[in-house]
A and B are shown apart, each in its own frame.
Chain A
Amino acid sequence: MKKRWISYPYLLWMIIFIIVPLILVLCFSIFISTDNGLQFSLNNYKRFMEPLYLKVLWRSVVLAGISTIICLILGYPVAMILASKQMSKKSFLLFLCILPMWMNFLLRTYAWMTLLEKNGFINKILSFFGIGPFQLLYNNAAVILGMVYNFIPFMILPIYSVMKKIDPSVIEAAEDLGANQITVFKKIIFPLSLPGVFSGISMVFMPAVTTFVIPRLLGGGQFMLIGNLIERQFLLSGDWNFGSAVSIVMMIIILISMAIISKYDKEHEGGQLW
């Protein structure tokens, strides 16, 4: 199948709506307007290289990384169970996994606050048993919980779609040859599901790095994250130049780290930088 031309509509779309805006952002980051017109300057990049801002970026990457791992650990078994042949009503159950995301994000997050607050729902239940109250909100765990909650369907769905078509005869053959269930999983199921896992990781990790509403609402704004920093540059400070520089640096760093993750994608066909 050598039909490369069928991707041309997308390539055109990509050039207009991704590359051109990207060039725009790049221009913002390297040209600053002075009294004598636009001037080339790398000051914005220099400014971002200060420990203050790098710390913010590092913290965002770590939080997003932890959330991605938890999404994978929790989501993988869900996809596996749904794809297993014993399960009837597969698509119905799969749909149930994504339906909560159709409710507005802000309302969902407010609902989490109602659950986690000091006088919230969970503490009320705990106090019934004579425990608590605990401050469950405003810590790293609450932020991670929020991220996992919002991104887990993006992990479950792609893994499920790959698992669903794993040929059962392959697994049966392995079992016939005396492999136990753990070996079957390690040697057959997991390697075959890797492309789905990789897609899932991309769709969870990348947006999680730049999310800022979750840390603001569930983390109590105590942890400044990179998405928040960028948003503030564009909105409050009106410093689009610096905001653009931060996004460009972040983009490069994340793409590199994605490339490292994709090394594990055995076929080397993911979309890595090298």
Chain B
Amino acid sequence: MKKFKISAFLLIVMLSISILSGCSQNNEKVLNVYNWGDYIDESVLKGFEDEYGIKVNYDTYATNEDMYIKIKSGGSSYDVIFPSDYMIERMIKENLLQKIDLNNIPNYELIDEQFKNLDYDPNNEYSVPYMWGTVGILYNKTMVDEPVDSWDILWDEKYSGQILMLDSQRDSIGVALKKLGFSLNTRDVNELEQAKQALIEQKPLVLAYVGDEVKDKMIGEEAALAVVWSGDAVACKRENPNLEYVIPKEGSNLWFDAMAIPASAQNKEAAEMFINYLCDTGIAYKNTDYIGYSTPHTKAKEMLDEELLNDIAAYPQPEDISNCEIFYDLGEFITEYDRVWTEIMAQ
């Protein structure tokens, strides 16, 4: 029974190690940051720790909804989070966010006016924009010969089996709604029904409904056309020059990821310091450069390459996005979208 004794001994040792290691960090000032994975240049965290003497506890999540459940359940407390537009709106409605005192964030003036007073946070009380982008069509110039400027091409039988749609109900239904000339945020059951019919009609042409792996698929030339987020489009184009990105003329989705402070935050003061730090020109540039998404920071943007600034995927002109909409939180009505999506997928 030696083995048993050894394992029991090991168990005790490990338990005590883990308890001890859990205790050691109690006295320090700690800032708990909750962000998307790989969505910051990690040297920035180190820089913040050194400059302010506050330890940063950095955790990551994969989707807005995952983060939302964790915050809403109240089981763990974070001081800074990075929700997207509709999620900010929802969290404000449910009193899950607290107001940010912009007096403590002098660098806020460096954020482009164009990205202030947006619908999800009309008075800029709860959020500071971090990254933004659009949704559009990424296509392979060698496989598609006609000019792409409309969602209609995703319904073109010529490209049967070469189209990738997103496995996300809001985004894919949104594409159909925009194609039909409706709003992305429609609450009209008839419009939704038409979108459903369009997507069912399109389904035989679609190679797959994909998620994050769409980038590799397009780089590897597995498909001719795909619906993608602009930030990914920039990365894909860099890896495969045959790819091109357009924002269809019917309009599309404009999205934002912003920094916010949960109502349950323990350390609001440090959270504001951190947000201000991320809005510092040098730091914002560092992050933009690392992530490759579009920054709302005016000064950091000026530091970027000319080529990137002229890329419609990264920095579209105001007229390119004039038809674009931001997602609203649909509240209870989301169940209708869910139902429609189930019906499309269960075909």
Residues of A in contact with B (beta carbons under 8 Å apart): 52-53, 55-56, 110, 113, 117-119, 135, 137-138, 216-217, 219-224, 229, 232-239, 242
User: Interface size for chain B: under 10, 10 to 19, 20 to 34, or 35 or more residues?
Assistant: 20 to 34
A-B contact pairs, 5 of them (CB 8 A): A137-B208, A220-B207, A221-B211, A222-B203, A235-B66
B338 and A55 form a contact (CB under 8 A)? no
7 additional contacts (CB under 8 A) given A110-B213, A222-B208, A232-B341: A117-B222, A138-B208, A222-B209, A224-B342, A224-B345, A237-B338, A242-B335
Q: Which of the listed residues A113, A232, A237 has the most CB atoms from chain B within 10 Å of its own CB?
A: A237
CA A171 to CA B337, docked complex, whole Å: 61
Bound together, the chains give a CA A262 to CA B161 distance in angstroms of 43
Q: Which residues in A have their C-beta under 8 angstroms from that of B213?
A: 110, 113, 217
A213 CB → nearest B CB, Å: 10
Shortest CB–CB separation between residue A114 and chain B, in angstroms? 8
Distance in angstroms between the alpha carbons of A137 and B164 in the assembled complex: 13
Q: Is B43 an interface residue (CB 8 A)?
A: no
Contact across chains for A221 and B209 when beta carbons are under 8 A apart:
yes
Q: Are B161 and A229 in contact (CB under 8 A)?
A: no
Cβ-Cβ contact count across A and B, 8 Å cutoff: 71
A239 & B342 in contact (Cβ 8 Å cutoff):
no
B20 within 8 Å of A by Cβ? Answer: no
- Taking CB atoms, residues of chain A closer than 8 Å to B216 are 110, 113
**Residues in A whose Cβ lies below 8 Å from that of B222:** 117-119
Contacts A135-B161, A235-B66; A222 near B211 (Cβ below 8 A): no
Are A119's CB and B345's CB within 8 A? no
Q: Are B207 and A229 in contact (CB under 8 A)?
A: no
Verify A232–B338 contact, CB threshold 8 A.
yes
How many angstroms from the CA of A118 to the CA of B143 in the assembled complex? 15
Beyond A235-B65, A237-B335, is A117–B209 a contact (Cβ under 8 Å)? no
Q: Using A119-B220, A135-B161 as known contacts, say yes or no to A236 and B207 having CB atoms under 8 A apart.
A: no
Q: Which B residues are CB-close (under 8 A) to A221? A: 167, 208-211, 345
B6: chain A residues within 8 A (beta carbon): none
A223 contact set on B, CB distance < 8 A = 345
Q: Do the beta carbons of B220 and A235 come within 8 Å of each other? A: no
